[in-house]
Amino acid sequence: MSYDYIIVGAGSAGCVLANRLTEDLSCKVLLLEAGGKGNFLVNIPGAYSVLHRSAVDWAFWTEPQSHVLSRKLFIPRGKVLGGSSSTNAMAYVRGNAADYDEWSSLGNKGWSYNEVLPYFIKSEKHQTKGAPYHGTDGPLYVSFARNPSPLNQSFLEACSKNGIPFNEDYNGANQEGASMLQFTIKDNRRQSTATAFLLPAMKRPNLEVRTRATVKQLFIDQDRVKGIELITGKSTTEKIYCTKEVILSAGAIKSPHLLQLSGIGDKDMLQDAGVPVKHDLPGVGQNLQDHIWTPVSNLCSIATNNASVNPINLLKGFLQYSLFKKGPFCNSLIESNAFLQTDSPTGRPDIQFHFSPGHAGDDYKTDIYNLKTFPGTNGFTILVILLHCESKGFVGLRDGNPLNAPLIQPNIFSSEIDRRKLLEGLKKAMAVADDDSFRRYSPNGLNHPKRISTDEQLNEHMLKSLETLYHPVGTCKMGSDTMAVVNDRLQLHGLPGLRVIDASIMPTIISGNTNAASIMIGEKGAELIKADC
């Protein structure tokens, strides 16, 4: 079978592309996914954390972070139909209008907030919100948690008393304030892009989906990308051609990695890795950005919803979910949220709080929301998130072996400004956690870090606890400067037949969780392709 398009990566953007491109039944599409179809746990909102380091996760690690006690940080990425939309915490957050206006101001025509808003709306089937900011006819269900912990109301009250007013809809006219989170959950089941976009499209005769399909490299002939080369055995490969374009939608880690494996990237780095240079493009893999966070925790005198994760309660919750689709497994591990400014010259939030009715523990284990290591202690946690880091990193090659993980170097805290801003956010979260609004459930107040701590002690707390929020972006950035990888139509600079359409094209990271924006990029990318074909 011949194909018009080959999409590499069935993740948040790739599934959207597969759906939208095959609406035209004359357009034949091949969608490739390195992972499998997933398992029943992928569909259970409360099982989010057990998906890490499992068969549905690439389970990457960073290089040792010289400014963070030389710690390696965990970077989970979905390796399954739906990609990270099948393994994330399901928060539906669009970011700030100024984020997209900034993209536009960098010379990316068509990417201002007013121009991308219709694509957010197109995807969405919101259960309680409507025009002018929300859609009700799209394939992606968006809803609030049906049975959130009562601790969330205390969080919203504590925020209000500490200068963070209630905001009913952070995806609406204004982002700042404290809110209940919106989720990609339908009828207490995860709504990944595989569920919302891909499964309906798979009924069409013009879409072929191949799982367990590991791409070795892109196939380039006469200075044009003509297809891909799959690994089919220990020493065998298969070349698959397309007539129009290959579309990389493998995410901010794997998309630049696949370009580099194909000889597309900085020539010196490629030569050092022993990869023949086919197209010198120095920006590939550069501009890596992510959100980083540190926790604040309280103990609770009673268990509330998913606030207790001891084995008995876990079994009880799982049975409730399996039999009745009720109980704590219906919810994400995070339930409410706040956006605030501490010291933001851009006029948009620089700090985000995620509120979770579960205690993070005080032993500084990494990846704390992995239930394999999660403490069985009643409590709650505020994740203090720095939204716009000055520090930037890169994704590179260790060698030319496509089966080896890439080198991931985010350079966290290489800018002193980031440490200072996160410290201010931490202090604000400590005030919220210690507020009287929580006394009904948490009579002793702030537990971790200690209420009276010096800046030096709080800095130590950040260094021991800091993690990324698993939102890598920017490594194939959109733009027209010398370090840009794609143009504003998402076509690779200087090499026809190839587009990149996923979170890697973001020139700057958005103010909040990145999945909704990745879906929007898929929607807009599909329309750009249709307009150009």
Neighbours of 2 (CB within 10 A): 9
Contact 482, 494 (CB under 8 A): no
CA atoms of 526 and 523, how far apart (whole Å): 5
Contact 499, 127 (CB under 8 A): no
Query: Catalytic annotation on 471?
Result: yes
Cα 340 versus chain centre, distance: 20
Residues in contact with 113: Cβ distance below 8 Å, sequence separation at least 6, in sequence order:
97, 98, 99, 100, 101
Q: Which of 291, 448, 471, 493 is catalytic?
A: 471
Determine the length of the chain.
Answer: 533
- Strand (E) positions, 300-346? 336-340
CA atoms of 209 and 81, how far apart (whole Å): 10
Q: What residue type is assigned to position 40 of the chain?
A: F
Residue with tokens 């993070």: 360
Residue with tokens 């009924």: 203
CA atoms of 309 and 303, how far apart (whole Å): 9
DSSP 8-state code for residue 194: I
Cα 213 versus chain centre, distance: 22
SS3 395: strand
SS3 content of the chain, % helix, strand, coil (to 5): 30, 25, 45
Contact 429, 178 (CB under 8 A): no
The packing angle between helices 416-433 and 151-161, to 10°, is 110
Element (H, E) at 448: strand 446-448
CA atoms of 264 and 258, how far apart (whole Å): 9
Q: Kindly report whether the peptide bond that precedes residue 282 is cis, defined as omega within 30 degrees of 0.
A: no
The full DSSP string for 170-193 is TTTT---EEEEPEESEETTEE--H
Q: What residue type is assigned to position 370 of the chain?
A: N
Contact 263, 276 (CB under 8 A): yes
Partners of 207 in the β-ladder: 29
Catalytic residue IDs: 471
